[in-house]
């Protein structure tokens, strides 16, 4: 399948397999995807559904949207962590259904059932990784980078995904503008990047601005 049809959380899941589990990065990608579509909006720092009825047609994104609607209000940083494995597990199941991952059932200690995931389409992962590297370091102006590629790149770089490296501050700011999508979503994407960086590196960085 062409990787262009993959959602933000699906691309991030493929970019960052293994340890540590990238569940917070994947959740941040799902939040960013919903914010870019204008379906989650910022209300004084609180992640707020635009309405009670809108759907994306993507089971993972719609599942998260329903979870936010049914829960007490929380800020964006809290949603990066809160029950993030639900989104991570749903994305992996989606990638299995789409043929990008392979689920292998095993038993721990010969008794407890477990599922391990392996890449089934390494060429898709290679394409996603190359697009992220090009977005961060390529010669094209940030304004020419596809908007979803820009969002994936800044989130993956914030998580220090291996093999990508970090862009300069100016390039990162331009990619944040490009990747935000919906009006007003830039501060949200910046906050999500800050939360991901703190979760994956222990750094504390300002989110606003």
Q: What is the pTM of this model?
A: 0.91
- What domains are defined for the chain? 3-120+183-201 (1.10.3630.10)
Core vs surface per residue 26-35: b (16+ CB within 10 A) or e: bbbbbbbbbb
**What is the residue-wise DSSP string for 102-149?**
EEEEEEETTTEEEEEEEES-HHHHHHHHHHHHHHHHSSS-GGGS-HHH
Angle (CA) 47 38 79, round 5° = 25
How many CB atoms sit inside 10 A of residue 18's CB? Answer: 8
Do 159 and 194 meet the contact criterion of CB atoms below 8 Å apart? no
Instruction: Tell whether omega for the bond before 20 is within 30 degrees of 0, i.e. cis.
Output: yes
Coil, strand or helix at 188: helix
For 152, what's the count of Cα atoms within 13 Å in the CB-facing half-sphere? 28
Helical H runs in the chain?
Answer: 8-15, 23-36, 59-70, 76-81, 84-97, 122-137, 147-158, 169-180, 186-201
Per residue of the chain (209 residues), give pLDDT as tens: 445 689 999 999 999 987 678 999 999 999 999 999 999 999 999 999 999 999 999 999 999 999 999 999 999 999 999 999 999 999 999 999 999 999 988 766 666 777 889 999 999 999 999 999 999 999 999 999 999 999 999 999 999 998 898 889 999 999 999 999 888 899 999 999 999 999 977 665 444 44
């Amino acid at each position: 399948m062409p990787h262009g049809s993959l959602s933000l959380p699906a691309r991030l899941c493929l970019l960052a397999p293994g340890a540590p589990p990238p569940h917070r990065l994947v959740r941040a990608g799902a939040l960013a995807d919903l914010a870019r579509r204008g379906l989650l909006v910022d209300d004084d720092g609180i992640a707020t559904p635009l309405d009670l009825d809108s759907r994306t047609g993507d089971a993972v994104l719609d599942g998260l949207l329903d979870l936010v609607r049914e829960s007490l209000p929380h800020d964006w940083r809290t949603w990066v962590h809160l029950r993030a494995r639900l989104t991570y597990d749903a994305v992996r199941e989606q990638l299995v259904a789409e043929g990008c991952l392979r689920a292998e059932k095993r038993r721990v200690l010969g008794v407890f059932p477990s599922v391990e995931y392996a890449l089934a389409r390494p060429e898709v992962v290679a394409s996603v990784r190359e697009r992220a590297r090009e977005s961060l370091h390529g010669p094209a102006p940030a304004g020419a980078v596809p908007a979803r590629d820009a969002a994936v790149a800044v989130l993956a770089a914030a998580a220090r995904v291996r093999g990508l490296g970090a862009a300069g501050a100016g390039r990162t700011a331009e990619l944040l503008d490009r990747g935000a999508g919906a009006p007003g979503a830039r501060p949200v994407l910046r906050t999500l990047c800050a939360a991901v960086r703190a979760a994956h590196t222990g750094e504390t960085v300002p989110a606003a601005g």
